[in-house]
Amino acid sequence: MTAPRYRFLRDPLIRRFLSGSLFAGAFIWVAVTQFEVPTEIVWVFFKLSFIFVGVMMVIGLLLTPVIALLRRRDPGMLARLDRSDPDQTGGQDPDDPAR
């Protein structure tokens, strides 16, 4: 049985993160050792990746209020038809076969 302190490893998101990190590290290690990629290029790529993710987060934070303001508040025409009162249909059920 698993100890309580390792219970978080059963979470699929944690497992994906750990396995993805392991495989990414192995990929970088193979690139550096087998294909003689200079480690400086790897560090520049790593830093620029963090900068890119940070910029995307800032853009998302700035655009979230703008998108929330631009969303339509009224429900639209189909929702209006659903809320219509039966007097508009002449008091008859449109699905009634006796019509």
Domain definitions of the chain by residue range: 12-73
Global confidence as pTM: 0.52
CA atoms of 30 and 34, how far apart (whole Å): 5
Query: What 8-state DSSP symbol labels residue 98?
Result: T
Torsion of CA 32, 37, 38, 40, to 10 degrees: -80
Using left for φ > 0, alpha for ψ between -120 and 50, and beta otherwise, residue 85 falls in beta
CA atoms of 50 and 28, how far apart (whole Å): 16
Query: What 8-state DSSP symbol labels residue 91?
Result: T
Percentage of the chain modeled with pLDDT above 90: 46
Phi then psi for 18, rounded to 5 degrees?
A: -65, -45
Q: Report the pLDDT value the prediction gives residue 55, as an integer from 0 to 100.
A: 98
Q: Report the pLDDT value the prediction gives residue 71, as an integer from 0 to 100.
A: 81
Average pLDDT, integer, range 46-70 = 94
